Structure 1
Amino acid sequence: MELPTSAHTSRPWRIHEIAPDFRVYDVWALPTPGGPDEFPRLVENFAGGDTGDNSSPVARLLFAIRWKLGKVLGWDDRDKGLGSRVPTLRDRLPQDLRDGPAGPEFTRLPFTSVYLREDEWAAEMANRTVHGVMHLSWVPDGAGGHRGQMAVLVKPNGLLGKAYMAAISPFRHLIVYPPLMRDIGRGWRESAPRA
């Protein structure tokens, strides 16, 4: 379920001090009910994800088109990403987070872990259009349990980045996120420990 931006900004997440120049674009309550210690499973599920696994053929097609455009137009070239066009957010980390774990490596998505805490994880990606952060957290669900929450923070790269974010907005909300939320819920149920 989509949430108001305040569902993210009102919480004391460390990402606020690290990426104050990023705008919160999307906040979602994830269909991942669980106990207080299940955040590591959510993080591992995300790190192993892939846009090609989306259950929606339309969403898979949109991702395939985006990756192809990125290749043809050079949006995703190495010199347009982290450490080239923009410094990694790890350079902004306070010492306690720098000394802690960054988080898992992604197997198929173009993200890099920034930091990992017991209830919060940030991963970043950058290309010619944007510098983006996926922020996952583990929050009380109001019914005695917990659930995941995902926020997407973005810093567009100039006019191209702003135009890109405006162009993909309806696709994100109408085509990409609904099946993604269903897939996250299904993956969560499938990864549950067997009794």
Structure 2
Amino acid sequence: MKLPLTAHTRRPWRSHAFTQDFRTEDVWSFRTPGAGPDDFPVMLAAIRAGAGSAEQSPPARFLFAVRWKLGALLGWDRTDAGLGARVRSLRDRLPDDLRESAEGFAFEGMPLTPVYRLADEAVLELANKTVHALMHLGWVPTGDGGHELRMAVLVKPNGRSGRLYMALIAPFRHLVVYPALTRQWEGAWRDRALLLGGTAPRQ
């Protein structure tokens, strides 16, 4: 479900100290019924266990395939346009206590590099010729005593072409990509016991 940008910007995330020059683009919530305050690592593990491209919907797979084809044709994803080349990684801004926190943390099928992970938030990043983007995942209390996953996308477009690119893909993000992620990630939570080696039935 789409949320106002303030649902991210007004929460006391550690990431705010390192992302002042990024713009909050989207905020989305994912329902996790029965989740408790310490279940963020369980949610991340369930997402990783079910995050292969085969789990994506056909429209989402098609859009990503088109995006990678265009990127190859236009040189958007060349190595010299990415992290450590065109832009410095956000990890270069981190204090010592966060630098090693993301070891072993990544999502299969997503071209995202881990930045850091804490008990209630995590950040991943990507950079190409059009944009330097961050995915912030946060674990947030809900009004009914539970918790839910929230995702915020923060961006730093690369000039006018980057701003145009973000404007052009906005409808696809909202109508295809984020709803597909919702089905995938909420399903991963429901199936977490099976995905992580247990035998509990779906909720």
One-letter code aligned to 1:40:
P
Q: CA deviation at 1:183?
A: 1.8
Q: What SS is found at the alignment partner of 1:134? A: strand
- The residue aligned with 2:24 is 24
Q: Figure out how many residues of one structure are paired with residues of the other and give that number.
A: 193
User: TM-score, normalising length from structure 2?
Assistant: 0.89
- The residue aligned with 1:165 is 166
Q: 1: CA distance between counterparts of 2:62 and 2:23?
A: 27
Q: 2: CA distance between counterparts of 1:142 and 1:31?
A: 12
Q: CA deviation at 1:51?
A: 4.8
- The residue aligned with 2:55 is 53
Q: What SS is found at the alignment partner of 1:153? A: strand
Identity of aligned pairs, percent? 55
Question: Could you tell me whether the CA contact under 8 Å between 2:87 and 2:127 is conserved in 1?
Answer: yes
Question: Could you tell me whether the CA contact under 8 Å between 1:32 and 1:184 is conserved in 2?
Answer: no
- Stretches of structure 2 lacking an aligned partner (at least 5 in a row): none
- Stretches of structure 1 lacking an aligned partner (at least 5 in a row): none
One-letter code aligned to 1:151:
A
Pairs within 5 Å for 1:100-179 = 100-103=100-103, 104-179=105-180
Q: 1: CA distance between counterparts of 2:93 and 2:185?
A: 30
- The residue aligned with 2:90 is 89
Q: Which runs of 4+ in 1 moved over 4 A?
A: none
Q: What SS is found at the alignment partner of 1:162? A: helix
Q: 1: CA distance between counterparts of 2:138 and 2:110?
A: 19
Q: CA deviation at 1:41?
A: 2.1
Q: CA deviation at 1:96?
A: 2.2
Q: CA deviation at 1:194?
A: 4.0
Q: 2: CA distance between counterparts of 1:123 and 1:15?
A: 11
CA RMSD of aligned residues (A): 1.6
Distance 1:105 1:183, change over 3 A: closer
Q: What SS is found at the alignment partner of 1:166? A: helix
**Over residues 92-151 of structure 1, what are the superposed CA-to-partner deviations in whole Å (9 max), with x where a residue is unaligned?**
0122222x4125033332111111110000000000111000000101011111111110
